Amino acid sequence: MNVKVRLHQNIAILGSTGSIGTQTLEVIASYPDRFTAAYLTVNNNIPLLLRQVERFRPKGVVVLDPAAAETVRSRCGPEVEVLTGPEGLSDVVRRTEVDTVVSALVGFAGLRPTVDAITAGKRIALANKETLVVAGSVMMPLAERHNVRLLPVDSEHSAIFQCLTGEPAGSVTRIILTASGGPFRSLSANELRTVTVEQALKHPNWSMGSKITIDSATLMNKGLEVIEAHWLFGMPAERIDVVVHPQSIIHSMVEFADGSVKAQLGVPDMTIPIQYALTYPDRFPTPTRRVDFPSLREMTFFSPDTERFPCLRLAYDALRAGGTMPAVLNAANEVAVARFLAGAVPFTQIPVLIETAMDRHVLRENPTLEDIVEADGWTRDILSTF
């Protein structure tokens, strides 16, 4: 499949004020001759958006809330177009001057604009893993039809993508995703019952948005990544393994038919996979720290414990079940994480809520996009009574 390599890329960032969005802007700022931030889109962080507009002078912005959009309009002047709502997202990703869309909204909200960007034939740097989890069966054929390659931003998938470069199709026997294990790796099942939101938001190696940080603490993030890897690399569930590697230096590995294993290593810094998704197949210099092996001293590996962290098992179950089940897993997880962050349920209730929704769901095979949207809504409805 072709990837359009252009000397200059006009980029639309879905979620420019988020962790991935702001780091994408740092990459863009370091190569002004190669990249322009053409469109920025945000949910509600208006002060940061205004600073970004000042610095990057985009052609347009999308602000989800119409009232907040009015404020932005009055502050930015006529040279910056201000759009609103989900329609605004779908509009800007299709603009002819946009070459690349960085899909970095969090959660199910990213699905529609990512599908629209694929349909418009844009180069896609994909951070929003939830869209592939819920709709991989729709998005992968769609991308193929439109000759679009989904370039992974997620560090594990970027690692696998890099390990696969130059290797013949059919030579891979196993994908091994590494996981940091999160902040609660060493806690007992009993101790997990009383962990606080504040403790869960302290990730040992990465600084990320709150939803993915909680997903990392439950190991659901790794579960979502197993499903993401299934779609991106065409691997069945039984050939995708997870190994806990607390140092987060090996970002993932690929095992080949001859028993050889390739790994991609680097310091935990998301600007590396973000930039690679934008420059692929080129590699440009970055100012990031380098791996200093002597000071690392050791790299350790453990099997994940799905008794203490059932979310990982639930994700494998959803992948094996197929159809609309991953959409139910994802929606239930979004609901459960939001409740935990609001202080409404304990940490250990997150997998219980997800399993409740999955148990009740009558799955639909070969779902359309509408079936997936419906399964997402069904899950949110059913959980409102629990």
Residues forming contacts to Mg ion in the complex (CB under 5 A) are 154-156
Which residues, numbered 255-274, are part of the site for ligand NAD (CB under 6 A)? 270
Give the closest residue to 327 by CA, choosing from 295, 366, 294.
Answer: 366
Which letter does DSSP use for residue 175 in this model? E
Q: How far is the CB of 304 from Mg ion (least distance, A)?
A: 14
Q: Is 209 in the site for ligand NAD (CB under 6 A)?
A: yes
Q: Is 116 in the site for ligand NAD (CB under 6 A)?
A: no
Q: Of the candidates 9, 10, 11, 17, which one interacts with ligand NAD according to CB under 6 A?
A: 17
The region of 16-24, 191-199, 229-237, 341-349 touching ligand NAD under the rule CB under 6 A is 16-24
List C-alpha distances in Å: 344 to 199, 245, 320, 340, 348. Answer: 16, 31, 31, 6, 12
Q: Of the candidates 28, 106, 115, 135, which one interacts with ligand NAD according to CB under 6 A?
A: 106
Which letter does DSSP use for residue 237 in this model? G
Residues 50-89, mask of contacts with ligand NAD (x by CB under 6 A)? --------------x-------------------------
The region of 24-32, 121-129, 249-257, 304-312 touching ligand NAD under the rule CB under 6 A is 121-129
- Tracing tokens 């600007």 back to the chain, one arrives at 271
The region of 98-106, 231-239, 244-252, 288-296 touching ligand NAD under the rule CB under 6 A is 98-106
DSSP string, 91-139: HHTT-TT--EEEE---GGGGHHHHHHHHHTT-EEEE--HHHHHHHHHHH
Q: How many residues of this chain interact with ligand NAD, rule: CB under 6 A?
A: 25
Q: What is the rounded CA–CA span in Å between residue 169 and residue 257?
A: 11
- Tracing tokens 């370039």 back to the chain, one arrives at 151
Burial 332-342 (b: 16+ CB within 10 A, else e): bbbbbbebbbe
Burial 199-232 (b: 16+ CB within 10 A, else e): ebeebebbebbebbbbbbbbbbbbbbbbbbbbbb
Q: Which amino acid is at 265?
A: L
Q: Tokens in use for 341?
A: 């962050």
Q: How far is the CB of 220 from ligand NAD (least distance, A)?
A: 10
Q: How far is the CB of 256 from ligand NAD (least distance, A)?
A: 26
Q: How far is the CB of 13 from ligand NAD (least distance, A)?
A: 8
Output the residue with the shortest Cβ distance to ligand NAD.
18
Which one of ligand NAD, Mg ion, none interacts with residue 19, CB within 5 to 8 A by kind? Answer: ligand NAD
Q: How far is the CB of 23 from ligand NAD (least distance, A)?
A: 7
Q: Is 42 in the site for ligand NAD (CB under 6 A)?
A: yes
Q: Of the candidates 21, 58, 88, 310, which one interacts with ligand NAD according to CB under 6 A?
A: 21
Which residues, numbered 151-170, are part of the site for ligand NAD (CB under 6 A)? 154
Grouping H, G, I as helix, E, B as strand and the rest as coil, residue 248 is: coil
Alpha-helical regions (H) of 14-84: 19-30, 46-56, 66-76
The region of 9-17, 195-203, 358-366, 376-384 touching ligand NAD under the rule CB under 6 A is 9-17
Which one of ligand NAD, Mg ion, none interacts with residue 72, CB within 5 to 8 A by kind? Answer: none
CB neighbours of residue 318 within 10 Å: 29
Q: Are 207 and 299 in contact (CB under 8 A)?
A: no
* List of residues contacting ligand NAD (CB under 6 A): 15-21, 42-43, 45, 64, 104-106, 109, 127-130, 154, 206, 208-209, 212, 270
